[in-house]
């Protein structure tokens, strides 16, 4: 297949592009490098630097493409609270521009990387795709809006659409920006650095951490699976882990003499968000292969930032 991965120089996109290439696909990547790094990509991947709202660039890249994986997005919840207009422009405007360009180029299918963030606070232990979303940030709103555009436009124009609501992905190469870093690489860095692992508040927030290889496998499968048109599918591990439990696991896996420093209060966000993955099991034969402890070990072993210590 000829595929385009938007946001393909990012954490998930690069892992996906590098997986598709050895499977025999011709892989093109579009990324504006606002957060991505093209050095992550195998040399045989056709990389173009550009904005996902740039339709002429999209047209050129979509020639003879069979499937688009749409991952280009601004991805920080706290940042989205400061800059909702920018999040809307990229995450919603970029999605609509892509759909228009796909229609013009005659592309058959799009797989959209959406997010568990669209659910917001829910009462259920496991969230199913049927629940009414209550996003609590502009980021969540933008991803939900992108979902609506993709399914609605797809239905109107005969483009097949598959939406994957990804929960908390982690693994080697996950960015560690100084402002609002994701919790797993931050804890590993803090533990291996011999310092304290910082937990805000009680550490009782529960999340669904899913290893990058499982996310990539689901994305790959979604491009060719039958009976998935117009479907929305959770991609998580199905297992809830509190921040306190995560800190303990990081301590065990790193074997670091770390101690936990509790400061302030929890930094916002919902109290619990864990995926019901029954739909993914049925439609994509999805079975997460890597447990959280195993994924933490793989992250430490395969991430150059942690190996050098």
Question: Residue 46 and residue 61: Cα distance in Å, rounded?
Answer: 10
> Which distant-in-sequence residues (6+ apart) come within 8 Å of 218 by Cβ?
164, 233, 235, 280, 284, 286
Contact residue for ligand NAD among 27, 65, 75, 162 (CB under 6 A): 75
Q: Which segment (162-170, 251-259, 277-285, 300-308) binds ligand NAD by CB under 6 A?
A: 162-170
Minimum distance, C-beta of residue 117 to ligand NAD, in the bound complex (Å): 7
Minimum distance, C-beta of residue 102 to ligand NAD, in the bound complex (Å): 15
Q: Which is nearer to ligand NAD, 153 or 211 (CB)?
A: 211
Within 10 angstroms of residue 84's Cβ, the number of other Cβ atoms is 15
Question: Residue 146 and residue 46: Cα distance in Å, rounded?
Answer: 26
90 part of the interface to ligand NAD, by CB under 6 A: yes
Contact residue for ligand NAD among 18, 21, 26, 35 (CB under 6 A): 35
Furthest C-alpha separation in the chain: 58
Residue nearest to ligand NAD (CB): 10
139 is catalytic: yes
Q: Which segment (2-10, 19-27, 252-260, 270-278) binds ligand NAD by CB under 6 A?
A: 2-10
**Strand boundaries in 75-229, DSSP class E:** 109-115, 160-166, 168-170, 196-200, 206-207, 209-211
Residues 98 and 55 sit within 8 Å (Cβ to Cβ) = no
Q: Which segment (65-73, 130-138, 247-255, 263-271) binds ligand NAD by CB under 6 A?
A: 65-73
Active-site entry in 87, 139, 149, 286: 139
Residue with tokens 């990509």, as numbered in its chain: 41
Q: How many CA atoms lie within 13 A of 69 on its CB side?
A: 34
Q: Given the rule CB under 6 A, which residues bind ligand NAD?
A: 7, 9-13, 30-36, 51-52, 71-75, 90, 94, 113, 115, 143, 166, 168-169, 175
């Amino acid at each position: 297949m000829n595929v385009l991965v938007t946001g393909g120089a990012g954490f998930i996109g690069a892992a996906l592009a590098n997986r598709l290439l050895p499977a025999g696909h011709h892989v093109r990547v579009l990324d504006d490098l606002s957060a991505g790094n093209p050095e992550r990509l195998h040399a045989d991947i056709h990389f173009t630097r550009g904005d996902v709202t740039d339709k002429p660039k999209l047209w050129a890249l979509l020639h003879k493409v069979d499937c688009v994986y749409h991952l280009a997005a601004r991805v920080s919840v706290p940042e989205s609270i400061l800059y909702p207009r920018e999040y809307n422009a990229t995450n919603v405007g970029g999605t609509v521009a892509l759909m228009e360009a796909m229609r013009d180029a005659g592309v058959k299918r799009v797989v959209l990387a959406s997010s568990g963030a669209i659910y917001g606070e829910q009462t259920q232990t496991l969230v199913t795709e049927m629940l009414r979303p209550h996003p609590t940030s502009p980021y969540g709103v933008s991803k939900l809006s992108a979902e609506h555009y993709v399914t609605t436009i797809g239905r109107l124009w005969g483009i097949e659409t598959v939406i994957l609501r990804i929960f908390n992905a982690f693994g080697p190469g996950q960015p560690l920006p100084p402002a609002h870093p994701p919790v797993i690489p931050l804890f590993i860095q803090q533990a291996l650095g011999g310092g304290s692992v910082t937990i805000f508040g009680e550490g009782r927030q529960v999340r669904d951490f899913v290893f990058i290889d499982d996310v990539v496998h689901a994305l790959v499968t979604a491009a060719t699976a039958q009976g998935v048109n117009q479907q929305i599918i959770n991609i998580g591990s199905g297992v809830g882990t509190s921040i306190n439990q995560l800190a303990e696991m990081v301590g065990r896996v790193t074997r670091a003499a770390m101690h936990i420093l509790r400061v302030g209060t929890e930094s916002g966000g919902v109290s619990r968000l864990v995926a019901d993955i029954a739909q993914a099991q049925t439609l994509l034969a999805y079975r997460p292969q890597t447990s959280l402890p195993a994924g933490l070990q793989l992250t430490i072993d395969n991430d150059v930032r942690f190996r050098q210590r």
